[in-house]
Amino acid sequence: MSTNTKAQASVPLGRGRSILATRPLMGWRTVDLLTVAFLGVAFGILYWAWALAYQAPSNGLAAIFPPLQGITGAPWLMAGVVGGLVVRRPGAALFCELIAAVVEAIPGSTWGAATLVSGALQGLGAEIGFAVLGYAAFGLGAAVLAGALSAPLEAIYEWSAYWTDWGMGYKVAYAVILTAAGAVIAGGVGWLLTRALAAGGALNAFPPGQEVREARAV
Amino acid sequence: MLSDVSSASRGWVSGAAVTGEPAGGRAAEAWDVGAAGRVVVEGLRWRPFGRREPVLDGLHLTIPAGQRVLLAGPSGSGKSTLLRALGGLLEVADAGELSGTVTIDGVVAGSRPGAVGLVLQEPGAGIVAATVGRDVAFGPENVGLPRTEMPARVDAALAAVRLGKPLDTPTGALSGGQTQRLAIAGALALEPSVLLLDEPTAMLDPDNAAAVRATVEEVADRHHLTTVVVEHVLGPWVDFADRLLVLDAGGQIVADGPPRDVLAEHGDSLAAQGIWVPGAAAPTPVPLPRTAFGSDLTMEKSAGSRDISPDVRHFSVTADPGQGAPVLAAEHVRVERRESLLGGETRATLALEDATAYGRSGELTAIVGPSGSGKSTLLLALAGLIPTVAGRTTDRGLSSPDLARLLAWVPQWSSSTIVARTVLDEALVTSRALGLDEAVCRARAETLLRAVGLWDLRNADPRHLSGGEQRRLAVVGALVHQPRALLADEPTVGQDRLTWASVMGVVEAYRETGGAVVVSTHDQAVVDRAHAVVRLATPDSPPPEPISRRPLVSRAGPLSLLAGALLSIPAGIASPGWRWSLVVLAVQAVLAVVGLSTVGGEGGRPAGRIKRVALRMVPGLIGSLSVGWSTWLLGGHDLGLAATGVLRVLVIVFPSAVLVPYVDPDALGDQLAQRLHLPARPVVAMSAALQRLHTFGAIRAEITGSRRVRGLGGRRGPGAIAAALSALTIGLLVRSLGAAAELAVAMDARGFATATRRTWWASAPWRTADTVVVISAAVPALVAVLAAAGVL
């Protein structure tokens, strides 16, 4: 039968408070590990596809103002945000983004194994976002923060790897644009995506799934 | 950082862990004495969050050691839930309120790794590793068995299930039945006292199903296992079982006793509840009102337009004995599936060889054959959704709306193809995409949804339905717009007698008004109703040519290959100016030629090595030109600057194109854990996910194919592209999450939850070749750094 029935809230919750992962926080369940790993693989495939499709819009933006390419770079920041939002344990964001980077590198991508470096820096940034909130908040604000923070380390790395010939003004503009786009695209869209998955019943073993069911409760 | 420091002290059934004492003191049955595997359930109650009513409520049950229990009940009665509870696995992939106790020989279920072996319904859902040997060794690895003792344990387990395959056989190369026997072997390797099987033969053809049942019986005999089998179809298990337990829709035990006695006493009422009782006549499809399918809407719409299946006209009716006019055809079709091998090579295996099938107006065609024989592939060929090497199929060039008018396709997994937010909207997706008369289609949708028992759920979110309900909804959604043909992949799997009769009633009503129906199925009751039966045999693929001459780089392990690829980053960054970049790139090219050359060995050289590297360089080349263009634009049209930008990217990417294809996921896991001493469980999770990578291509094809068939594909404009992209993203993620949850249950049943100090099936040596790769890759980096420092 349908599980579309209303649940009685079993935990009293304040408005806007996040449901957290089961304690202890580092007590990764098997399903936590596998979910982050499988999400990473799925995002890795999407990243790889995006690497083939992003060239045209990216070059278009470059013709207007080169640092605007930060906008087309932002989708690559999403895996860390979503991994962190779903599992809500320390390391989830980094682990998810790293696996996505590994998968993206396997079929041969624009950047080869350099995606591993990017994945580590982006994932670390998102991880810092969740960490400064003490792994205690996973709402839209936290997602935006994690999305934004996944950008700066990557931007600084790209200065020396890809944008060596830019002046400092362009470099800073690129970092700012990538950060803003990361906040909106990786953070905002990642949050929406997580909510959509939870609403679809795909996250029942995780806090976001529980939040959806609590929200429906009368 | 990711290690699970506390899981060793965590009970899996946390709610149950604290409340109960084992139910001692009861009179033990004669066979209970001295044997292991006595299961006691006391006051078990489970309410998943989001459901008002508990699935199980206050259940009491004692299973003496060595007893064989057949667990039956209508859909949604909680059979699978109870089975998972017996293994202490309820909270592995779901959250809810759990109380009561489950104990095995007095110990809380789930506290001894491997005490309970679990076999899931879908073959392969619990496969952890890429090869047979490593997969069976997974449980022993988790409990820390020394590596030297593993081969004997693995051999014994494989021998017990009569799977005489070499240990390095890829798990993906096994048939569905062999995969289920591999799952049993994986459980036996931990010497369980209880074996739990969740509809282990539901997705198998009769021969494979019989082989799996024989294996279950044999291992249960030899190892004196307490065995619990959940099944819809009781017949084949009646002789095996000592006891038949029947749950009702409320999760209560309503019948309990020796199978023949229970069936004699309750047979009729069980059949009436939908259970497939042995001896009962096959159910009759529930007839629909004559008006259910009326004037053919899509035919009217397309009247006067071009023939939407032009190829079909070429098939002469004399060439085959059928009566109805052919609507779809696939003649002498050969389909190859390409498998990626290590080193970026691909190997073609035959998915279908010289297969012919027709979809005929007013007829039901059944495609049967063992799993792996290409039944689903033949359906795709009939739908014109798959490229063929030889033979003729339905036109592959049809536009999405034309395709939707011609045919509907119900894939095996309908959950990832759901697009609407209510059941009724989901049923109307295609008719709306085609712009058909809303009132007529709505009325038809109501009739069909009522027929399959989903009308009361019309406003529910279709993603929250059970698997069986989603399958019935997919059939309704395929027929509301009344296409000329219906292709359905195993439409009756998991249906009980009642829902079987309802869904077949809809299909038969559609067929009687002229629809052509083609189904792939193992279901004899469906085959018995077919006008034509197409039998497929597993195509014989020519054995792959043994290649003994491997490129030198293939001797290196994953870590050195990745290190080699990453050393290109300093090489690219440090190079001062395009001249030095060119020198560095030349050094890399020389090293690549050496690394890819074969030295020694006999037999054929691996073909196409250079071509593959070139192919893998294409994205990097495009990326580098893009960087060069933007640099040229900015740098005052300075060609030197632009060339520097281009070459820097090439220097960074080129070594990856050569080295990364030789990284093996399982070996990578071995090295990360044993060489770098990264936490074991995240590493294993990563390897398990990576070895499923190849399944994602099929998922993508299913999602995009399903959108085309439903009339949603091929529309232009940013809105349509965004919709297609988001459908693909969400579909991929939903399927990944589902696979992760199933695998988590299977892995925890094999002791993974507490496997912080695990051992490893394979060692992870650092060879001379690894050192050579790292040193060689350091040379270009060194050249670049020295050049930058002005030394060169």
Q: Reply yes or no on whether the pLDDT at B548 is more than 80.
A: no
Structure tokens at B383: 């739908």
**B623 closest CB neighbour out of A5, A111, A214:** A111
Tokens of B759: 């051992």
- Torsion region of A2: left, alpha or beta (phi above 0 gives left; psi -120 to 50 gives alpha): beta
Q: Are A53 and A109 in contact (CB under 8 A)?
A: no
C-alpha B186/C-alpha B420 separation (Å) is 40
Residues 6+ apart with CB under 8 A from B230: B71, B72, B79, B80, B83, B197, B198, B199
Tens-place pLDDT, residues B462-490: 888 888 889 999 999 999 999 999 999 99
Coil, helix or strand for B394? Answer: coil
Contacts of A66 in chain B (CB under 8 A): 630, 633-634
Alpha carbon B35 to its chain's center: 37
Annotate chain A with three-state secondary structure.
Answer: CCCCCCCCCCCCCCCCCCCCCCCCCCCCCHHHHHHHHHHHHHHHHHHHHHHHHCHHHHHHHHHHCHHHHHHHHHHHHHHHHHHHHHHCCCCHHHHHHHHHHHHHHCCCCCCCCHHHHHHHHHHHHHHHHHHHCCCCCCCHHHHHHHHHHCCHHHHHHHHHHCCCCCCHHHHHHHHHHHHHHHHHHHHHHHHHHHHHHHHCCCCCCCHHHHHHHHHHCC
Predicted local distance difference test score (pLDDT) of residue B93: 84
Q: Which residues of A47-70 are buried (b: 16+ CB within 10 A; e: fewer)?
A: bbebbeebbeebbebbeeebbbbb
Specify the DSSP element, H or E, that contains B177: helix B176-188
**What pLDDT is stored for residue B315 in this prediction?**
38
- In B, which residues are within 8 Å of A24 by CB distance? 5-6
User: Which residue in this structure is represented by tokens 């060194």?
Assistant: B782
Give the other-Cβ count within 10 Å of B156's Cβ: 14
How long, in residues, is chain A?
Answer: 218
Map out the domains of chain A as residue ranges: 30-216
| pLDDT tens figures, B171-183 | 888 888 889 999 9
Q: Which residues of A touch B469 (CB under 8 A)?
A: 1-2
Nearest in space to B192 (alpha carbons), one of B752, B749, B756:
B749
pLDDT at B537: 85
DSSP string, B8-77: GG--SSHHHHHH-----SSPPPGGGTT-S--EEEEEEEEEETT-SS-SEEEEEEEE-TT-EEEEE-STTS
* Sequence-ordered strand ranges (E) for B194-305: 194-198, 226-230, 243-247, 253-257
Determine the distance in angstroms separating the CA of B591 from the nearest CA of chain A, rounded to an integer. 17
Give dist(CA A96, CA A36) in Å, integer. 5
For residue B518, the surrounding DSSP H or E stretch is strand B516-520
**Does the pLDDT of residue A51 top 90, yes or no?**
no
Residue B226 confidence (pLDDT): 96
Q: How far is B462 from chain A (nearest CA, A)?
A: 9
Q: Which of A139-143, A185-189, A202-206, A214-218 has the lowest mean pLDDT?
A: A214-218
Structural domains in chain B plus CATH codes: 7-115+192-272 (3.40.50.300), 297-538 (3.40.50.300), 558-663+769-788 (no CATH)
Chain B partners within 8 Å of A35 (Cβ): 737, 740-741, 744
Chain A partners within 8 Å of B12 (Cβ): none
For an interface test with A, the pick among B612, B639, B737 (most A C-beta atoms closer than 10 Å) comes out as: B737
Tell me which of B313 and B44 has the higher pLDDT. B44
Q: What is the pLDDT of residue B603?
A: 64
List of chain A residues whose C-beta atoms are within 8 Å of the C-beta of residue B465: 2
What per-residue confidence (pLDDT) applies to A152?
A: 96
Number of Cβ atoms within 10 Å of the Cβ of B276: 20
Distance in angstroms between the alpha carbons of the first and the last residue of chain B: 43
| Nearest to B158, CA basis, from B130, B186, B197 | B186
Helix, strand and coil content of chain B, in percent to the nearest 5, comes to: 45, 15, 40
Q: Please provide the average confidence, as pLDDT, over all residues in chain B.
A: 85
SS3 label, residue B85: helix
Among A23, A32, A34, the residue to mutate for chain B (most B Cβ within 10 A):
A34
Q: Are B249 and B241 in contact (CB under 8 A)?
A: no
pLDDT at B343: 60
Residue B455: pLDDT band (50, 70, 90) is very high
Q: Which residues contact A177 (CB under 8 A, 6 or more apart)?
A: A67, A68, A70, A71
Burial class of residue B345 in the structure, from the number of CB atoms within 10 Å of its CB (0-12 exposed, 13-18 middle, 19+ buried): middle
| B704-727 residue pLDDT tens | 889 999 998 877 778 888 888 888
CA–CA distance, A143 with A191 (Å, rounded to integer): 6
pLDDT surpassing 60 at residue B233: yes
Query: How close is the nearest chain B Cα to the Cα of A200, in Å?
Result: 5
**Which region among A68-82, B126-140, B325-339 has the lowest average model confidence (pLDDT)?**
B325-339
- The pLDDT value recorded for residue B256 is 94
The pair of three-digit structure tokens given for residue A90, joined into one six-digit string: 């320390």
Domain spanning A30-216, CATH class: mainly alpha
The partner residue sitting opposite A108, judged by closest CB among B616, B700, B738, is: B616
CA distance B155 to B161: 10
Q: What is the pLDDT of residue B314?
A: 35
Return the pLDDT at B506: 95
Q: How far is A182 from chain B (nearest CA, A)?
A: 18
Query: For position B463, what pLDDT does the model report?
Result: 85
Q: How many interchain CB pairs under 8 A, A with B?
A: 270
Residue B64 has pLDDT above 70, yes or no: yes
| Nearest in space to B420 (alpha carbons), one of B477, B468, B376 | B477
pLDDT band at B546 (very low <50, low <70, confident <90, very high): low
- Compute how many other C-beta atoms are within 10 angstroms of the C-beta atom of residue B400: 18
Q: Average pLDDT, stretch B252-256? A: 92
Two structure tokens written together for B753: 């939850």
Question: B427 or B19: whose pLDDT is higher?
Answer: B427
pTM of the model: 0.87
Beta-carbon-side half-sphere exposure of residue B724 (alpha carbons within 13 Å): 20
Average pLDDT, integer, range B354-368: 92
Nearest-CA distance from B351 to chain A in Å? Answer: 23
As for the ipTM of the complex, it is 0.90
Is residue A217 scored above 60 in pLDDT? Answer: no
Cβ–Cβ of A205/B692 closer than 8 Å? no
Chain B positions touching A113 (Cβ under 8 A) are 562, 565-566, 568, 655-656, 659-660
User: Do B740 and A31 count as a contact with CB atoms less than 8 A apart?
Assistant: yes
pLDDT for B304: 36
Q: Looking only at Cα atoms, what is the longest distance across chain A?
A: 62
Q: Report residue B356: phi and psi, to 5°.
A: -135, 135
Name the residue facing B573 among A24, A160, A197 (closest C-beta).
Answer: A160
Q: List C-alpha distances in Å: B756 to A99, B137, B143, B683.
A: 21, 16, 9, 11
DSSP string, B718-787: HHHHHHHHHHHHHHHHHHHHHHHHHHHHHHHHTT-TTTTS---SS-----HHHHHHHHHHHHHHHHHHHH
- The pLDDT value recorded for residue B792 is 75
Q: How confident is the model at residue B391 (pLDDT cuts 50, 70, 90)?
A: confident
As a whole number, mean pLDDT of residues B230-255 equals 91
